Structure 1
């Protein structure tokens, strides 16, 4: 099969080029920076507001709820007003809300700030993936993995950057957040000229929300399983290494670091890998490597082996979501914009539900058994390679 096939996007337009490719990369980078930059602010908010774990958990749920409410309608918004307008407006709201996450002085004000931040973040996420599919189509070659690689790179820069500003620069949380916001806003401003002024014209008259169907539903489920595994590594990798392998906190924290480095490297090289192997092999090998990685974590009684296992999970999972998004953009079951919206929303549900589901299974059975289910989820993704036809 060809790496990129014709999509049902608007035909009365000039095909995108290098400027649009660069702008897409910049937006993915910005979203990664801002999203990950929130992580170091969470423990500070817990201390500032005097929250226990339960209250903090409910607070963080507002981030997901905001995103889930906004993501399903983003495809329609881009069809009516174009990717440029939607990304620009939502980015300004997202970046503007970011400093408030560092200063909100009550649970309610923090909940509102997080919900607004989550809704705008979810909107930009879907819109930039719609732009990415159109830009990839116009280029005639795989580009989605590279775009997502910039998101992962931005995540490392965002979390590391704001942590460095707080620890090494001695800045207050508000000043550190403002620095991140200013840099992010400048990057968005520089990318505006390359953002597409149109969206998917096949859905301009569609209702605001359409349930996924056919192959799109399968793609969404596969994305959900992949994000479920990724979210579980984020929240449970260190817990597994400390509680099951007896590792100290310092070593356990390297579990997610190994995963993130592998994920970033795999995505930055992913477009070349897709061209060399084809999308079906990327899905098969990626799912198998991810399953093997979880198996190493489970079966080898060593914390250091666990780090290797998490690294393998990162390598395996790195290009699954980009391939699934590209496949969604080519589907004939729904218009491309609606398909990407549906797949993004289902994937985000997996990211939100994954950690809670692992905790529930661990409570009923054991944490190692929960990780067995994660390995099985990756095997299910590998077995579904026909979706990439």
Structure 2
């Protein structure tokens, strides 16, 4: 902090000393700390000067010519050899981030977060950003957001330390946020029927397809008619979440009767719209933005599917007894579908249709539903 300016009558006072003249003529002296707080130095001017000089020495706030020159030289050397936070973060984003093989949606979130870091700290050098600054930023986030930001900042500072731009990974010193335990609420078949009763026809088909195919949102909206072999009764899906895996999950499974029935309805609906995707609807208006983000004018985006399901879920009143953040989501249709299929066709088939590498993940989706009936295996 630059020394506080002094009036002509107070030029003999050390830097960072303020004078408080009362109406009765009494003069008080105060010392201005680097954090903006003021501490009283009493009424004795000589004692106040001694105390201020001592404080300036301890806090290294003596603005003498030598220190100014050394500071400017140090700053010049620093600027010539170490990039600013903005430059370092840009290199991290350009060179290091692509090697991480994140999924598309995850990468979009990370890129947005990096934009926030640029806005806050672009004027600093990496070493100038303190633990306090990062901690204060994390405190402003929700527990879920703070957990994601902390993980990302640790990775960023790891890159900075490896390049010699920071001495230590200060992000690792922050406390790991503890997220409150999520209240797990599952869909029921009865509640889904209540929701479907007020849904438009395309959304009813989308809900049924989600339940009977047990595919994720990102896969549901891009299943094409060409992925269905009616003659062989098979459905083929390349699961998008696994695209960056060493071995992407590519499933080809027999369709159970309920899945076959809803797919035939989806094919009929999409053919009427001349759309190649099973989930399709004619929008009220087609904008240039929609044309750019959609694979087909009548295709449905992930975000639109989620928002429409949430809209009609709440309009139906099926979950009015729950708080908004406790109501099951579109993704929870997958859990209901896995439960239904496990009950009727067995856990092994549910695991194969879901594309789960192991049964533990299938069991995770079954949690919160009634205990499944014992699986019967027949040998003929």
TM bracket, shorter-chain basis: under 0.3
Structure 1-normalised TM-score? Answer: 0.23
Structure 2-normalised TM-score? Answer: 0.23
Q: 1 or 2 for the larger relative contact order (CA 8 Å, sep ≥6)?
A: 1
Decide which structure has the larger Cα Rg and report it: 2
